[in-house]
Amino acid sequence: MLTSRQPFVRPFLLSILVVSTVTSKLLHLFQHAGSIPTALLALYFPTFFIQEVLLSAATWFLLQKSTSLRSIVGLILVPATASLTFCLCSSQLGFYFVTGSEIRWDAVTSVGNDAEGRKLMLSGLKSFLGSAAILLIMSWIFTRVCSAVFDPWLSALFSTQPTEDMHEESMLDNPKAATRRKRPVRLWTILGVIGTLGLWIIRPKVPYSHMSGAIPFTFLEALVASPAEAHQSGDNAFPLPELISEGHWKAPDGRFKGWSPKFDMGTTTSPDWASGKLPPGFERWSQKNKHVVGPNTIKANGTEQNATTIKNYYNPVNDPLRITNLDQKLLEPLTLALKDRDVPITHVVLVMMESTRKDVFPFKSGSHLHREILNSYKSLDSDLLQQLSANLSHLTPISEILTGESGGFPKTKRDAESSLWEDTAAAGMGGLNVNGVLTGGSLSFKSEIVNHCGVWPLPVDWMDEIKSDIYQPCIMQVLDLFNQFKESSTTESSRDLRDRKWTSIFMQAVTGVFADQNILNDQMGFKKTVYREDIGQKGAKHYHDDIEEINYFGYSEREVYPYMEDAIDDAIKNNERLFLSHFTSTTHHPWALPKGVQSEQYFSDESLIGKHEDMNSYLNSVRYVDTWLGDMLSLLDKKGIANETLVVLVGDHGQAFQEDSPVTGCYENGHISNFRVPLVFRHPLLPKIQITANTTSISIIPTILDLLVQTKSLNEKDSGIALDLMNEYEGQSLIRPYKATDDGRQAWNFGIISAGGEMLSVGSAAVPYRLILPLTQGFEFVFSNIETDPDEVNLLRGWSVDDLVSRVRSVHGDKAGQWVAEAEKVGKWWAGETKRLYNHAE
Ligand SMILES: *[C@@H]1O[C@H](CO)[C@@H](O)[C@H](O)[C@H]1NC(C)=O
Ligand SMILES: *[C@@H]1O[C@H](CO)[C@@H](O)[C@H](O)[C@H]1NC(C)=O
Ligand SMILES: *[C@@H]1O[C@H](CO)[C@@H](O)[C@H](O)[C@H]1NC(C)=O
Ligand SMILES: *[C@@H]1O[C@H](CO)[C@@H](O)[C@H](O)[C@H]1NC(C)=O
Ligand SMILES: *[C@@H]1O[C@H](CO)[C@@H](O)[C@H](O)[C@H]1NC(C)=O
């Protein structure tokens, strides 16, 4: 009970509430201060605290001893509100200390609903508890201050007599003096209220309304609010109509289906392979759907149909953004190499590398990260520098081989390295290394969809893709289609690799149930999967008692090695072709290494704690995975299939650290370090080719298909299907010259920013600009010029697109400003169009 025998409890409760709400608001303002002119921030400053003042006043009022009803209400409401506010503010602070960014309550509730997601949240427990302790201490310190401010002020406002609770001094005063003091208090309060209200009225809604909410209210709002976006109507006209007008249309030509985005009825011509029963993923070619085409029409067979019963399908003919480069010749070195000899691709291994940034694949001398390491040393004599360079030269030796890019450090020998994989490819061979690639999504599983299905992800939070239609066939489903036309694999006739059946398998050493990844993998068409849940069981084939969890998601990649070996053995034994997809995991937060793996120190001693700790751990995990990749490649050598296996390596997304940006991590962070990823198409019998294509991972699937066809690794029928399908995907093939523009149109690039529905990265191969486009309220528009600022140190921000355009114009010129205006329109159009293609139900 709150009685006067505990004189400290009431003021302390008030203080907790005041300190929590004000701290939360100050942090919020601090995080947005950069995007608002200081003068305006100062002018509107009082209006940001309206809710906090009202809440505190109400709390003070309820805490007064008075009629029993008010006491009872206060007794229930105040402790509940104060503790909720306290917890929310602690989470907000904790989240800020870990990631540097702002917590979104709506997203928290959806992560909290997922068991693996809760583990992720628990990893931030330390900083939550730390923040809570700080808040408690501050509340304790401010208890007297709060009372000293609120008691005289509010008792002067609300009551004509001084209450029992008032300060001792005022009790000693005579009542007349007290009344005299009330007048100016009331006068000033009224003036303050009028002034603040006036400012509140003239202040623009965006962004200031977003900046004014007090935590308990913003939290409750997020709990009850449905997704803030407007429902996407069927009418989403392309914003740059002059670029797609009739004069630009292209006639069909061979496998090319033509391009004439006219948004009305048309028919997809059904290719001959689409006559039978088709595997999942091929709905749009099946007989009963074959008349449904055209983005905006819901007509089938000439009659109006019920919109709810008709599905939307992708149609390359009608896609205003689609640019194909299949009319271009193969890259010259490839043409030459394929003329001389057969380069079979019997098997395909796709390695999706967790949080692998391009600048650690390989790690390079002179890079931004290298400079950060050097700067961490107060003094660096030539001996130490030599030692450091020697250490760094051993960071990513396998990546150097795979990409053909040198790290630029002098090579030194190390004993441990005698066991490292050695390249079996002849000099000058090894396949394609692609520079300039960004991920299509900075949430791992959204990226997984891009990498396996050649589609853009859904611009919606978390994995709603599993409740929607992935609008292209995924590669596993394409291989299934190939299988349909084949005899059983074990017959004599299937000696030729082209007549063998495919089998697809997915392997990772970490959990498969986080964010429903297992459901997604089934939906994408994997026939077999291996997750932590499988290999961690006591009865599992390669279970061993000392199997070691290295992070909250599972084991080290090495645990899947024997399963990979089995998969390869089985494929060889059964005369099958293997599509093996592997997702690495050690490079995920918290970047822990298995026991017994030596952690190295790259940053200087004194700088390590706090400042560079995470990046140092990350680099160690990168080194560990680099070695692991070598082991995988050794396995291919050992099994004798290296010369007939295409290994595709791609980062799922990057990872921003303190060294890169004030906001760390991928979550709601558009920074370029979250987006640049390596992409390699490794084959020991293909020439080593360095290419630059400012594209995204959406190019992977069309490129794999193109490679299968061009290396004659498919029979005639399958080649026909693959050629047809290459003309259906949006991405360009990377074994042909990449088209940055086509007839005035740019090759636009999109990247979903984790968790998916709040912001979008919009770029174009034609210009070095990037726009971070908010898809919901409460985020800023951000612009960068990668050419002049490759590490995105100086970003331009604005709360509205006009605001940003005028800033960009003044700094980067009219053309850049014009581009931002177009990018905003195209990005918004794309978001609506993509939801439509996924048949996503809001
Ligand atoms: C299409 O139209 C024809 C003739 O108008 C009709 O016989 C046929 O059943 C229709 N098909 C569908 C799928 O509605
Ligand atoms: C369309 O769907 C609604 C609801 O399912 C149904 O009541 C209506 O009869 C349908 N109309 C047509 C033309 O099929
Ligand atoms: C290089 O690595 C060795 C072995 O891990 C370590 O002892 C040494 O301190 C490192 N030197 C520098 C300059 O980082
Ligand atoms: C793979 O090809 C290379 C280069 O042609 C050759 O030296 C090597 O023996 C081949 N490996 C196998 C296992 O056939
Ligand atoms: C890719 O973008 C970079 C930076 O904007 C630019 O320097 C380069 O020329 C572009 N490359 C291609 C092939 O378009």
Q: Whose CA is nearest to atom 14 of ligand 3?
A: 388
What is the CB-side half-sphere exposure of residue 473 using CA atoms within 13 A?
27
pLDDT of residue 72: 82
pLDDT of residue 228: 44
Which has more pLDDT, 3 or 77?
77
Read out DSSP for 562-628?
Answer: HHHHHHHHHHHHTT-EEEEEEE--TTSTT-PPPTTPPP---S-HHHIIIIIHHHHHHHHHHHHHHHH
Reported confidence tier of residue 166, pLDDT bands at 50, 70, 90: very low
CB 612 within 8 Å of CB 643: no
**Most informative mutation of 306, 308, 309, 310 for ligand 2 (most atoms within 8 A of CB):** 306
Ranking 373-377, 492-496, 837-841 by mean pLDDT, the lowest is 492-496
Which has more pLDDT, 308 or 747?
747
The set of residues, in sequence order, having a beta carbon less than 8 Å from that of 496 and lying 6+ positions away, is: 715
State the average pLDDT over residues 25-33: 88
The first and second tokens of residue 667, run together, are: 């979550």
Reported confidence tier of residue 159, pLDDT bands at 50, 70, 90: low
The first and second tokens of residue 83, run together, are: 């503790």
Question: Can you name the residues that pair with 504 across neighbouring β-strands?
Answer: 579
Residue 395 pLDDT exceeds 60? yes
pLDDT of residue 292: 46
State the average pLDDT over residues 618-625: 97
State the average pLDDT over residues 36-54: 89
φ/ψ (deg, to 5) at 429: -110, 165
Residue 341 pLDDT exceeds 90? no
Nearest ligand by distance to the CA of 305:
2
Reported confidence tier of residue 271, pLDDT bands at 50, 70, 90: confident
State the average pLDDT over residues 410-425: 79
Give me ligand 3 centre to Cα 365, in Å: 17
Residue 294 pLDDT exceeds 60? no
Residue 2 pLDDT exceeds 50? no
The first and second tokens of residue 788, run together, are: 């002049």
The first and second tokens of residue 231, run together, are: 């429902």
Enumerate the H helices of 443-537 as residue ranges.
444-453, 475-484, 517-524, 532-535
The first and second tokens of residue 706, run together, are: 């193109």
Strongest mean pLDDT among 34-48, 302-316, 414-428: 34-48
CA-closest candidate to residue 456, choices 519, 355, 443, 467 = 443
* Cα distance between residue 644 and residue 346, in whole Å: 5
pLDDT of residue 732: 98
Pick the atom of ligand 2 nearest to 304's CA: 13
Ligand 4 first shell, C-beta below 6 A: 426, 640, 643, 684
Q: Whose CA is nearest to atom 4 of ligand 3?
A: 600
Pick the atom of ligand 4 nearest to 429's CA: 4
Give me ligand 5 centre to Cα 440, in Å: 18
Residue 380 pLDDT exceeds 90? no
- Give pairs for 110-114: CB < 8 Å, separation 24+: 110/461, 110/462, 110/755, 114/514, 114/515, 114/516
Residue 163 pLDDT exceeds 50? no
Q: Is 690 in the pocket of ligand 5 (CB under 6 A)?
A: no
Over the chain, what is the mean pLDDT?
88
* Cα distance between residue 414 and residue 175, in whole Å: 87
The pLDDT tens digits of the residues spanning 343-371 come to 999 999 999 999 999 999 999 999 999 99
The set of residues, in sequence order, having a beta carbon less than 8 Å from that of 597 and lying 6+ positions away, is: 624
Pick the atom of ligand 4 nearest to 642's CA: 13
Peptide bond into 590 cis (omega under 30): yes
Which has more pLDDT, 236 or 663?
663
pLDDT of residue 418: 66
φ/ψ (deg, to 5) at 473: -65, 135
Residue corresponding to tokens 């017959």: 491
Residue 311 pLDDT exceeds 80? no
pLDDT of residue 643: 96
Coil, helix or strand at residue 751: strand
Ranking 14-18, 93-97, 422-426 by mean pLDDT, the lowest is 93-97
Nearest ligand by distance to the CA of 308:
2
- Give pairs for 42-50: CB < 8 Å, separation 24+: 43/199, 44/199, 44/203, 44/208, 46/192, 46/195, 46/196, 46/199, 47/196, 47/199, 47/200, 47/203, 47/208, 47/212, 48/208, 48/211, 48/212, 49/22, 49/25, 50/196, 50/200, 50/212
State the average pLDDT over residues 303-311: 54
Pick the atom of ligand 4 nearest to 637's CA: 13
pLDDT of residue 340: 79
The first and second tokens of residue 727, run together, are: 């003309």
**What angle is formed at CA 531 by the lines to CA 527 and CA 536, rounded to 5 degrees?**
135
**Most informative mutation of 694, 699, 786, 788 for ligand 5 (most atoms within 8 A of CB):** 694
φ/ψ (deg, to 5) at 814: -60, -40
Reported confidence tier of residue 753, pLDDT bands at 50, 70, 90: very high
Ranking 143-157, 489-503, 508-522 by mean pLDDT, the lowest is 489-503
Residue 177 pLDDT exceeds 70? no
Give me ligand 1 centre to Cα 304, in Å: 12
Reported confidence tier of residue 307, pLDDT bands at 50, 70, 90: very low
Pick the atom of ligand 5 nearest to 765's CA: 14
User: How do beta strands 781-785 and 748-752 pair?
Assistant: unpaired
Give me ligand 5 centre to Cα 768, in Å: 7
Read out DSSP for 782-811?
Answer: EEEETTT-TT--S-EEESSHHHHHHHHHHH
Q: Report CA-CA distances (Å) from 229 to 205, 209, 757.
A: 17, 17, 9
State the average pLDDT over residues 407-427: 83
State the average pLDDT over residues 382-411: 94
Residue 487 pLDDT exceeds 50? yes
The set of residues, in sequence order, having a beta carbon less than 8 Å from that of 361 and lying 6+ positions away, is: 353, 396, 399, 403, 651, 678
Q: Residue 267 CA to chain centroid, in angstroms?
A: 36
State the average pLDDT over residues 163-179: 51
Q: Enter the DSSP assignment of 545.
A: T
The set of residues, in sequence order, having a beta carbon less than 8 Å from that of 553 and lying 6+ positions away, is: 116, 119, 510, 511, 514, 532, 585, 588
Dihedral over Cα of 704, 676, 325, 317: its sign: positive
The first and second tokens of residue 118, run together, are: 């809760």
Reported confidence tier of residue 297, pLDDT bands at 50, 70, 90: very low
* Cα distance between residue 244 and residue 240, in whole Å: 7
Give kind and range of the element (H or E) at residue 350: strand 347-353
State the average pLDDT over residues 560-586: 96
Strongest mean pLDDT among 28-42, 62-76, 557-571, 593-607: 557-571
Give me ligand 3 centre to Cα 804, in Å: 46
Residue 111 pLDDT exceeds 80? no
Pick the atom of ligand 5 nearest to 692's CA: 13
Pick the atom of ligand 3 nearest to 385's CA: 13
Nearest ligand by distance to the CA of 388:
3
Q: Whose CA is nearest to atom 6 of ligand 2?
A: 306
pLDDT of residue 17: 94
CB 447 within 8 Å of CB 352: yes
Reported confidence tier of residue 71, pLDDT bands at 50, 70, 90: confident
Q: Is 586 in the pocket of ligand 5 (CB under 6 A)?
A: no
* Cα distance between residue 9 and residue 1, in whole Å: 10
Domain definitions of the chain by residue range: 9-224, 349-413+431-710, 767-842
* Cα distance between residue 120 and residue 114, in whole Å: 10
State the average pLDDT over residues 45-62: 91
Q: Is 601 in the pocket of ligand 3 (CB under 6 A)?
A: yes
Residue corresponding to tokens 């019920």: 306
Q: Whose CA is nearest to atom 3 of ligand 4?
A: 425
Nearest ligand by distance to the CA of 684:
4
Q: Is 6 in the pocket of ligand 5 (CB under 6 A)?
A: no
pLDDT of residue 556: 96
Reported confidence tier of residue 164, pLDDT bands at 50, 70, 90: very low
Residue 420 pLDDT exceeds 80? yes
Residue 170 pLDDT exceeds 80? no
pLDDT of residue 267: 54
φ/ψ (deg, to 5) at 506: -120, 135
Q: Whose CA is nearest to atom 10 of ligand 5?
A: 694
Which has more pLDDT, 532 or 65?
532
User: How do beta strands 502-507 and 528-530 pair?
Assistant: parallel
Pick the atom of ligand 5 nearest to 693's CA: 13
Residue corresponding to tokens 């293909």: 686
Q: Is 600 in the pocket of ligand 3 (CB under 6 A)?
A: yes
What is the CB-side half-sphere exposure of residue 342 using CA atoms within 13 A?
9
Fold held by 349-413+431-710: Alkaline Phosphatase, subunit A (3.40.720)
State the average pLDDT over residues 576-593: 96
pLDDT of residue 526: 97
State the average pLDDT over residues 280-286: 85
Residue 462 pLDDT exceeds 50? yes
Give me ligand 5 centre to Cα 693, in Å: 7
Nearest ligand by distance to the CA of 310:
2
Residue 535 pLDDT exceeds 70? yes
User: How do beta strands 429-435 and 689-692 pair?
Assistant: parallel
* Cα distance between residue 567 and residue 576, in whole Å: 10
Q: Is 694 in the pocket of ligand 5 (CB under 6 A)?
A: yes
pLDDT of residue 37: 81
What is the CB-side half-sphere exposure of residue 319 using CA atoms within 13 A?
23
pLDDT of residue 291: 47
Q: Report CA-CA distances (Å) from 789 to 145, 658, 783, 812.
A: 47, 17, 11, 12
Pick the atom of ligand 3 nearest to 384's CA: 13
pLDDT of residue 34: 74
Give me ligand 4 centre to Cα 426, in Å: 8
Q: Residue 724 CA to chain centroid, in angstroms?
A: 31
CA-closest candidate to residue 575, choices 479, 494, 487 = 494
Reported confidence tier of residue 212, pLDDT bands at 50, 70, 90: confident
Residue corresponding to tokens 């174009």: 764
The first and second tokens of residue 796, run together, are: 């331009």
Give me ligand 4 centre to Cα 642, in Å: 8
Ligand 2 first shell, C-beta below 6 A: 306, 308
State the average pLDDT over residues 608-633: 93
Ranking 275-284, 619-628, 648-657 by mean pLDDT, the lowest is 275-284
CA-closest candidate to residue 323, choices 432, 250, 242 = 250
Residue 681 pLDDT exceeds 90? yes
Reported confidence tier of residue 277, pLDDT bands at 50, 70, 90: confident
Ranking 19-33, 209-223, 684-698 by mean pLDDT, the lowest is 209-223
Pick the atom of ligand 3 nearest to 602's CA: 14
Give me ligand 1 centre to Cα 297, in Å: 17
Pick the atom of ligand 2 nearest to 308's CA: 2
CA-closest candidate to residue 199, choices 215, 212, 186 = 212
